[in-house]
Amino acid sequence: MGIMRTKSVEQSIRDTEEPEFQLRKALGPLDLTVFGIGVIIGTGLFVLTGEAAAGYAGPAIALSYVVGGVACALAALCYAEFASSVPVAGSAYTFSYATFGEFVAWMIGWDLILEFTLGAATVAKGWSGYLVSVFEIIGIKLPPGIYAATEGFSHDWLALIVIALVTTILVIGIKLSSMFNQVITGIKILVTLFIIGFGIWFIKLDNLTPFVPAPKPGGEAYGSALDGYLVPTLLGIDTIYGVTGIFTGAALVFFAFIGFDIVATMSEETRNPQRDMPIGIIASLAICTVLYFLASIVFTGLVPYTELGTAAPAATALAATPFPAAQFVVSAAILIGLTVVVMILILGQSRVAFAMSRDNLLPLWFSRVHTRFRTPYRITIITGIISAILAFWLPLVTLGELVNIGTLAAFVLVSIGVIILRRSHPDLPRSFKVPGYPVVPILAALACLFVMGFLTIGTWLRFFVWMAIGLVWYFGYSRTHSREARRASAGEAAQEV
């Protein structure tokens, strides 16, 4: 029994047909597209755009979105081929199991647990802050004891409430979750279009000039050696803005593109995954990339980019228009958007952990499906509880880069996995194939590695610590308890008899 044993595509699909693990197939291409847009548009657009523009790229943050969008588009094509060929819950985890083997699959799954769980807690904390700001705009001051303090430990009841709400919706049923998401995401898209259509009339060209600010020394901005960015540090580059700023900005706002990979976690719940998964993944990414580019131009055109480093850069930008009341609309949109992001991050984490538990890399108890709602209620509730505890107790911190490095690592492996699966399963039905194979998958992997190089050294170190914990769990439990290990043991026993 080796740690590189793979789980065949055929076996992965057979496992989904077992009654105790069977999920309800209720989603179509519109559901998937809306789910993708629902999680993509949120914290990235409404929060990280301002920080990246003010601290790294200036008005050229629009180009940072183009860089991130290109890297994501290449990876999205690989995800689309995988998801249409292997319609099984678990996204990059399941794909890696079929190509790289159990050990790599476990590490990717462990990586995704970090990404989704901490991401949901962080976004919920942001949701709390924006709810407070909405009330303040209309003249209502909430007591500080119910929401987050700015420093240290806090009792954030508002963050706990939103996680409890979305967790309940997810337990009740995937179709209800989709309907809830469609309504809120529709509102969010309309408000995003309003921001662009309204704000564009008040852009000052002076704010967009120079479009790419001249490079400046970045030592003070970095703070410590761990805050330096990996590739620039290795090359001896100590600047912000300029061309370097475009790429460091892309590494930061890459968080804004996370979402289409979560669509891939819902393959099992899709009526026609071979057709619908590519549509949902590519359509949601394309729509959001266009909106990001336009919105970033509006934000940096309304006010000088140096003024956008606030908790609510969109509201800050629209405050410069002759209609300051637009701040309320923007803050309400952020609140709505973050609600959906929290829900879909918990959804993505529950589906990845469900797939890992079904394979017994995590205990099987977690993967039991509710007899009535046909949802993985145990792991969904546990995910909600852990996220709620983190959001309730811990202060709001910038986890975007840590989430980004895990996501990019998964993208690299999926891109390489397409090539491996083409070779190992040339006859596997593929309703969607990556165009320009094998050039596109190779470019996707290289583009994601390139963006990873502009994340901070501290982010790389924290990522390695988390993965080291995953190593301990795998060799202490998963390696000997997994379904594939037991199948191999049963096969060896049968041969001896």
Average pLDDT per consecutive 10 residues, the chain (497 residues; last block may be shorter)? 62 60 68 78 75 86 91 86 67 73 86 82 78 79 66 71 89 65 75 87 91 75 62 73 87 77 68 78 86 91 87 78 77 78 82 84 80 80 88 62 79 87 81 85 93 85 89 91 75 53
Are 225 and 457 in contact by the 8 Å Cβ rule? The answer is yes
Q: Kindly give, in sequence order, each residue whose CB lies less than 8 Å from that of residue 495, ignoring residues fewer than 6 positions away.
A: none
One DSSP character per residue, 161-182 reads: HHHHHHHHHHHH-HHHHHHHHH
**Domains of the chain from N-terminus onward:** 27-481 (1.20.1740.10)
Are 328 and 133 in contact by the 8 Å Cβ rule? The answer is no
Question: Strand, coil or helix: what is 456?
Answer: strand
Rounded to 5 degrees, φ, ψ at 270 are -105, 135
Give the residues across from 477 on adjacent strands. none
Q: Kindly give, in sequence order, each residue whose CB lies less than 8 Å from that of residue 165, ignoring residues fewer than 6 positions away.
A: none
CA distance 46 to 296: 10
Q: What is the pLDDT of residue 9?
A: 61
Are 392 and 127 in contact by the 8 Å Cβ rule? The answer is no
Are 6 and 99 in contact by the 8 Å Cβ rule? The answer is yes
Structure tokens at 211: 């479009």
Give the residues across from 217 on adjacent strands. 239
Are 284 and 260 in contact by the 8 Å Cβ rule? The answer is yes
Are 165 and 362 in contact by the 8 Å Cβ rule? The answer is no
Rounded to 5 degrees, φ, ψ at 239 are -135, 160
Are 131 and 423 in contact by the 8 Å Cβ rule? The answer is no
Structure tokens at 114: 């970090």
Q: What is the pLDDT of residue 429?
A: 74
Give the residues across from 27 on adjacent strands. 270
Question: Strand, coil or helix: what is 217?
Answer: strand
Question: Strand, coil or helix: what is 216?
Answer: strand
Are 38 and 340 in contact by the 8 Å Cβ rule? The answer is yes
DSSP state of 27: B
Q: What is the pLDDT of residue 208?
A: 92
Residue with tokens 């496992």: 15
Q: Is the dihedral of CA 281, 288, 404, 354 positive or negative?
A: negative
Q: What is the pLDDT of residue 469?
A: 93
Q: What is the pLDDT of residue 10?
A: 63
CA distance 356 to 113: 10
Largest CA distance in the chain: 84
pLDDT tens digits for 391-413? 887 665 455 667 788 888 888 88
Other CB atoms within 10 A of residue 25 CB: 16
Structure tokens at 30: 């519109």
What one-letter code names the amino acid at 86?
Answer: V
Structure tokens at 426: 């040339």
Number of residues written out for the chain: 497
Query: HSE on the CB side for 55, CA within 13 Å?
Result: 22
Other CB atoms within 10 A of residue 31 CB: 24
Are 163 and 339 in contact by the 8 Å Cβ rule? The answer is no
Are 274 and 432 in contact by the 8 Å Cβ rule? The answer is yes
What one-letter code names the amino acid at 255?
Answer: F
Are 290 and 73 in contact by the 8 Å Cβ rule? The answer is no
Say what angle helices 157-172 and 174-199 make with each other, to 10 degrees. 130
What one-letter code names the amino acid at 463?
Answer: F
CA distance 127 to 131: 6
Q: Where are the beta strands (DSSP E) in 237-338?
A: 239-240
Are 95 and 82 in contact by the 8 Å Cβ rule? The answer is yes
Are 256 and 71 in contact by the 8 Å Cβ rule? The answer is no
What one-letter code names the amino acid at 82?
Answer: F
Q: Rounded to two decimals, what is the model's pTM?
A: 0.77
CA distance 283 to 275: 13
Structure tokens at 483: 């379904």
pLDDT tens digits for 337-374? 788 778 878 887 887 888 888 888 888 887 777 777 77
DSSP state of 257: G
Helix, strand and coil in the chain, % to nearest 5: 75, 0, 25
Are 339 and 159 in contact by the 8 Å Cβ rule? The answer is no
Ramachandran region, residue 236 (left: φ > 0; alpha: ψ -120 to 50; beta: rest): left
